Amino acid sequence: MSIMQGHAYALRMVADVLDDLEKTRIANQNRMRSLEQDGLGDLKEVAVLAGIVDGLAKLEHDALLSLQRTVRKHPLGPWVKSNVGLGEKQAGRLLAALGDPYWHGLHDRPRTVSELWAFCGYHVLPAGHTTFDSQREVAGRGQAGGDTDQCGHNDQRRTVGVAPSRRRGQRTNWSAEAKMRAYLCAESCIKQRHSPYRKVYDDAREHYAEAVHGTSCVRCGPKGKPAEIGSPLSDGHKHARALRKVSKEILKDAWRAAKEWHETQETGIAA
């Protein structure tokens, strides 16, 4: 096991513990709130439940501190610290979902940026093909950052592309967790004026200001009536596209930082 893999396993473990405690605390907090709203707040059992929730919150805090310490020891800890808005909690969970951003563990080789994007569900599919997909077909694209409703990267074909999405009962070959974590990191970063990713977001919003749909869109149309081809994007759709840009940029930077770390390790071994 490599040094990066060892750190990745440790980060995955503490991130899973934090996730479990957070979900359990929220579920019981909601249960307690529901009892109070029903006028049962004076019951002895509710007081016991409140004590349990407080205990879970303390354990969750301890798990968060453990995650933060693990991130600081991680080879990409300096990258996390240097980026305003990422934060150790969000970035730690993202790195836990990614493993090694640069190394393709299944094939034991370096992976490309587009392969990392595809692993996180940030690749592009042909229009009308939004769920079951093959990364082998799309991983070679995306180096230029292809986004939804944009023309394909093959200039001779000029096909319209869409983002993949999950549907109940259908399997995907990309990580929904990694996609969510990258998206949450993007949301956190754009709230910080001095974050370099805020400019990525602002530039993307300007780029998509006059964008129109290249394919029908259920996001922008009323239920049962998707927005038609050629119609303007809604503000929500523009926001989602801009966040997608930021998410991909964060993943690219994580890949670059991991690549630099691997090259440094190789140089040290060679010396």
**The pTM is what?**
0.81
Domain contains 45: yes
What are the φ and ψ backbone dihedral angles of 103, each rounded to 5 degrees?
-100, 130
pLDDT tens track for 93-152: 999 999 999 998 888 899 999 999 999 999 876 655 444 443 433 333 333 333 443 333
| Stretch 186-198: mean pLDDT | 94
Q: What is each CA distance from 244 to 17, 109, 200, 240, in whole angstroms?
A: 28, 27, 10, 6
Q: 37 with 150, same domain?
A: no
Q: What pLDDT sits at residue 168?
A: 63
Same domain? For 26 and 143 the reply is no
Predicted pLDDT of residue 183:
96
Q: What is the pLDDT of residues 44-76, one digit of tens each?
A: 888 999 999 999 999 999 999 999 999 999 999
Residue 171 domain boundaries = 87-270
Do 160 and 125 share a structural domain?
yes
Residues 6+ apart with CB under 8 A from 194: 84
In this model, does residue 207 exceed pLDDT 70? yes
Show which of 36, 52, 74 is a domain's final residue: 74
Distance CA(29)–CA(181), nearest Å, equals 23
Shared domain for 156 and 42, answered yes or no, is: no
Same domain? 34 vs 137:
no
Residue 215 is classified by DSSP as S
Asked if residue 215 is part of any domain, the answer here is yes
Q: Check whether residue 100 and residue 199 sit in a common domain.
A: yes
Residues 6 or more apart whose CB falls under 8 angstroms from that of 88 comprise 67, 68, 71, 72, 80, 81
| Position 40 in a domain | yes
Number of compact structural domains in the chain: 2
